[in-house]
Amino acid sequence: MKPAKEIPRISPVDKISFYSKFVSKNKPVIIEGLADDWPAMKKWNMNFFAENYSKVEPVTIAVKDGKCDVTIEKGVQVSFTAIEKTINKIIEGNVQNGYAIATTDDVFPADLKNDYPVPAYCADGSYLRTRIFIGAEGTTTWLHQDLFENLYTMVKGKKRIILFDPWDTVYPQSRFSKLPNHARPDAENIDYEKFPRMKNAQPYIVDLKAGETLYLPSLWWHHLKNIEESIAVSFWWAYGWKLPVVWAAAQYKKIRQI
Ligand SMILES: O=C(O)CCC(=O)C(=O)O
């Protein structure tokens, strides 16, 4: 790969500037301090979830050798597992056969939402969805892209995020596979014999720490590694020409009940 480039860091700007400088240009940026006043910043840690929500069963992903268990044949391996079991594995630092939480927030009682008010940038965004990610140090999420815009805030811990722009040569899986939005190479350990064009790929590397928010534009490829045990919140919304595509995909899922 080419030497990594950095993503700029800014203080919060008004909504019009955010859309004109970043969203409409599909440009990532790190916003420092956007979530400074979230109660989650002070309250949340592993014990907070284990003690207050022990019986909640969020979407949980099996982890094998540190990687979220994603296979081309079967897709992402998910279950609904009681949170206390997962949190115990995370506290043990279990990345061999552990679990990571990657769930929409609707599995939690609604008052949890008071801890992370929706940022003004996406508060009236179409198809707004919120997700919570909790994982052990060393676990990774494989390189993939999403159609949604994403504001991704670290509440605890630190992640290294490797990004590629949507047009880069990252060897996507077939559009007909179970994981059509995933890439084939391991972004941390590229096999250049198998993926020679990755030599020319341009990574952007971000070490995102607690209190920082990454604006991850639609379709940018992202690979995430927990450098520390971590908790993050993401807000996804649809914008521009992707809106009708997201709407059509949601209708299709409703009809097919998937
Ligand atoms: O936090 C992670 O490991 C995954 C986050 C992600 O892929 C997303 O928000 O789109």
* Nearest-atom index, ligand 1, CA of 144: 7
Spatial separation of the C-alpha atoms in residues 122 and 139, rounded to whole Å: 28
The answer to whether position 3 is within a domain reads no
User: Residue 258: what pLDDT?
Assistant: 57
Residue whose CB lies within 8 A of the most ligand 1 atoms, among 76, 150, 227, for a mutation test = 150
CATH code where residue 58 lies: 2.60.120.650
Q: Provide the pLDDT confidence category of residue 257 given band limits of 50, 70 and 90.
A: low
The answer as to whether 2 is a domain residue is no
Predicted local confidence at residue 166, as pLDDT: 97
Distance CA 83, CA 60 (A): 9
Question: Positive or negative, the Cα torsion across 208, 209, 215, 221?
Answer: positive
Distance (Å, rounded) from C-alpha 132 to C-alpha 134? Answer: 7
Quick check: is 33 in a domain? Answer: yes
Question: Does some domain include residue 4?
Answer: no
CA 191 to centroid of chain Cα atoms: 24
Give 152-208 pLDDT, tens digit per residue: 999 999 999 999 999 998 999 988 888 889 999 999 999 999 999 999 999 999 999
Residue 209 lies in a domain: yes
Instruction: Give the ranges where 24-142 is alpha helix by DSSP (H).
Output: 39-43, 46-52, 83-91
d(CA 84, CA 47): 9
Domain count, the chain: 1
Prediction pTM value: 0.94
Q: What is the mean pLDDT of residues 18-23?
A: 97
22: which 2 tokens? 């970043």
CA of 229 to the centre of ligand 1 (A): 14
| Best mutation site among 164, 222, 246 for ligand 1 pocket (most ligand atoms within 8 Å of CB) | 222
In a domain, 248, yes or no: yes
Please identify, by atom number, the ligand 1 atom nearest to the C-alpha of residue 230: 1
Is 128 among the domain residues?
A: yes
Give me the pLDDT at residue 72, please.
Answer: 64
Angle at 62 between CA 60 and CA 66, to 5 degrees: 120
Q: What is the pLDDT of residues 87-141, one digit of tens each?
A: 998 998 888 778 889 999 999 999 999 999 999 999 999 999 999 999 999 999 9
The answer to whether residue 245 is domain-embedded is yes
What residues line ligand 1, using a CB cutoff of 6 Å?
Answer: 133, 141, 146, 150, 152, 222, 224, 232, 234
Which of 52 and 70 is assigned the larger pLDDT?
Answer: 52
Longest alpha-carbon distance in the chain? 51
Q: Distance from first CA to last CA of the chain, Å, rounded?
A: 37
The parent domain of residue 240 ranges over 9-256
| Least-confidence region, from 60-64, 139-143, 224-228 | 60-64
254 has pLDDT over 80 = no
Average pLDDT in the chain: 92
Ligand 1 centre and the CA of 224: distance in Å? 7
Which residue did the predictor score with more confidence, 113 or 78? 113
